[in-house]
Copies of this chain bind each other. A is one copy, B any other.
Amino acid sequence: MPAVKPEKISPLDPTAAAPFYRQIYDRFRDAIATGMLKPGDRIPSARSLTKELGLARGTIETAYSLLAAEGYIEARGQAGTVVSPELKPRTAITGPVPLPNPNVDTVSFRPDSILPFQMGLPALDAFPRKIWARLGARSVRAMQPSDMIHPPMYGLPLLRAEIARYLQVSRGLSCSPSQVFVTSGYRQTVELIGHALLKAGNRVWLEDPGYPPTREIFNRMHIEGVSVPVDGEGMVVSDAVKLAPRAHAAVVTPAHQSPLGMSLSLPRRLALLDWSARNKAWIIEDDYDGEYRYVSRPLPALKSLDRDGRVLYAGTFSKVLFPGIRLAYLVVPEGQVEQFEQVTESLSAGCPGLTQTIVTAFIGEGHFARHIQRMRKLYAERREATAAGLESVLGKYVRIDLQPGGMHLILRLRGNRSDRRLVASMREQNLYAEALTDWTTRNDGVSALLLNFTNIDSRRTAENFGRRILKLM
């Protein structure tokens, strides 16, 4: 097999941020991922590429050893270096994606690259990266020795203050900075609550359908999840009381039920608060995307009605900034601050100061509020366009629920189609979806796809993807 000509390596960019070795590495990886280079293809020797590109030999070798270490290429002695004949799917960037297992683990499946309709992602193309880069560069330059020690365990004081102020204005939630605990994500938030307020053997009401990782985290802590049905007003509190009157906590998504999207009605909110006060139980309000509501103003948080100090409010920057930031927060009732301080000290070692500093500046200088407003408008458009595009192509097979808020659509499958089977076929085609069946513990025959619309830029794009889904029906 002839070696791939070095011309395929387009000229390197000396002004690029990435060092040369990384540029070379990226190009080979991309060439392999896109199929331009195929398993078994020979690639130029390090020596010839060195000459061709006019770079130091070590630069090429670094790139090659990295590619080899990750399984993209293999040295074959005299026979030269080839693209690994048995490339594992994991290392291929846009290669075939492993099939999901028919259990809840599939919903925590995360591809290495961005797939159409991928759940949990905000509009990545619309993020103000320039502003972010400016604040980031400023923050890293301003680093002082005092920023290099262990970050404060409950979060940077300035960030806690900015979060408290933001929640007051946008979610009608009054709290002091000392009630705000910065965490590395929703998972850590739930663990913190579990360790601070619950113990093994306790029972917790969970919405069904509901976000699967919540159940998984509690399971690992030997805390039993009690599945509570959901109707048009959200969690059916009266059912929950019948199922487990003495439960120790309830997890709810009052703004937009996850994943069905309805709001928890006021009577249900009051019933829940009443139950928790009388039973000294805790309410965990998972407000993962309360900012995004398209038909009216965002609803105030359930926590804003909390007179008895029973509600723990979980917020995150994953949806309103981006998941890679790994920052979330928890607001605890004033009476629980000390307990959470103690548990935080034994459980966590704080989040990196740099990311916290950037977010602090982003909020404090007004970019955060502006960004959310812009996204609310953009998501309203993308939601309409995606729904219209998919409807026009797939209308015969699906009924689309248009929810008042959130970041995904629900495509209910007509007839007896299995959502899991369709999701599996879609993933083989590098299309992302989650099956509603994987979000529930019941076997009641609901069958629907959950499709994120925030990264679908137009009706036409939605139609194109719709046609690809159509072929799999």
**Chain A interface residues toward B at CB < 8 A:** 16-19, 21-22, 25, 62, 65-66, 69-70, 105, 108, 110, 112-114, 118, 120-121, 124-125, 127, 129, 132-133, 136-143, 145-153, 157-158, 161, 164-165, 176-177, 184-185, 187, 195, 216, 220, 322-327, 345-355, 358, 361, 364-365
Q: Which of B65, B176, B325, B361 contacts A352 (CB 8 A)?
A: B325
B residues in contact with A16, CB < 8 Å: 142
B residues in contact with A176, CB < 8 Å: 69
Question: Once the chains bind, are A141 and B133 in contact (CB under 8 Å)?
Answer: yes
Q: Which of B69, B326, B350 contacts A151 (CB 8 A)?
A: B326
How far, in angstroms, from A139 to B18 measured CA to CA in the complex? 8
Question: Once the chains bind, are A152 and B355 in contact (CB under 8 Å)?
Answer: no
21 sample A-B contacts, Cβ–Cβ < 8 Å, listed by A number: A22-B364, A69-B161, A69-B165, A70-B161, A110-B149, A110-B153, A113-B146, A114-B149, A124-B145, A124-B148, A136-B354, A140-B140, A148-B324, A150-B324, A220-B346, A324-B352, A325-B352, A326-B349, A326-B350, A354-B354, A355-B355
Question: Once the chains bind, are A324 and B361 in contact (CB under 8 Å)?
Answer: no
Given contacts A158-B66, A326-B349, A365-B19, contact A149 B164 (CB under 8 A): no
Given contacts A22-B158, A110-B150, contact A137 B141 (CB under 8 A): yes
Smallest CB–CB gap between A161 and chain B, Å?
5
Q: Which of B21, B151, B345, B348 contacts A324 (CB 8 A)?
A: B151
Q: How many copies does the complex hold?
A: 2
Question: Once the chains bind, are B114 and A145 in contact (CB under 8 Å)?
Answer: yes
Q: Which residue of B lies closest to A133 (CB)?
A: B141
Q: DSSP majority for the A interface?
A: helix
Q: A137-B140, A140-B140, A354-B355 are in contact. List 14 more A-B contacts (CB 8 A).
A: A69-B176, A70-B161, A108-B345, A110-B150, A110-B153, A136-B141, A151-B326, A184-B184, A185-B349, A187-B348, A216-B346, A326-B352, A327-B352, A355-B355
B residues in contact with A25, CB < 8 Å: 158
How far, in angstroms, from A119 to B59 measured CA to CA in the complex? 39
Smallest CB–CB gap between A128 and chain B, Å?
11
B residues in contact with A114, CB < 8 Å: 145-146, 149
Q: Which residue of B lies closest to A118 (CB)?
A: B149
Smallest CB–CB gap between A21 and chain B, Å?
7
- Most B CB within 10 A of own CB, among A62, A120, A346, A347: A346
Q: Which of B141, B165, B324, B345 contacts A149 (CB 8 A)?
A: B324
B residues in contact with A136, CB < 8 Å: 136-137, 140-141, 143, 354
Question: Once the chains bind, are B355 and A324 in contact (CB under 8 Å)?
Answer: no
B residues in contact with A185, CB < 8 Å: 349
B residues in contact with A347, CB < 8 Å: 187
B residues in contact with A66, CB < 8 Å: 158, 161
Question: Once the chains bind, are A322 and B70 in contact (CB under 8 Å)?
Answer: no
Given contacts A137-B137, A184-B349, contact A147 B177 (CB under 8 A): no
Smallest CB–CB gap between A326 and chain B, Å?
5
Question: Once the chains bind, are A152 and B354 in contact (CB under 8 Å)?
Answer: no
Smallest CB–CB gap between A355 and chain B, Å?
5
B residues in contact with A124, CB < 8 Å: 145, 148-149
Question: Once the chains bind, are A125 and B137 in contact (CB under 8 Å)?
Answer: no
Smallest CB–CB gap between A219 and chain B, Å?
10
Question: Once the chains bind, are A349 and B187 in contact (CB under 8 Å)?
Answer: yes
Question: Once the chains bind, are A149 and B108 in contact (CB under 8 Å)?
Answer: no
Q: Which of B70, B132, B364 contacts A140 (CB 8 A)?
A: B132
B residues in contact with A365, CB < 8 Å: 19
Given contacts A66-B158, A354-B136, contact A148 B322 (CB under 8 A): yes
Given contacts A70-B177, A148-B324, A177-B70, contact A132 B137 (CB under 8 A): no
Question: Once the chains bind, are A323 and B158 in contact (CB under 8 Å)?
Answer: no
How far, in angstroms, from A324 to B118 measured CA to CA in the complex? 32
How far, in angstroms, from A149 to B216 measured CA to CA in the complex? 22
B residues in contact with A108, CB < 8 Å: 345-346
Q: Which of B120, B132, B177, B351 contacts A143 (CB 8 A)?
A: B132
B residues in contact with A355, CB < 8 Å: 352, 354-355
How far, in angstroms, from A345 to B109 measured CA to CA in the complex? 9
Question: Once the chains bind, are A150 and B323 in contact (CB under 8 Å)?
Answer: yes
B residues in contact with A165, CB < 8 Å: 65, 69
Smallest CB–CB gap between A84 and chain B, Å?
13
How far, in angstroms, from A129 to B354 measured CA to CA in the complex? 13
Q: Which residue of B lies closest to A162 (CB)?
A: B66
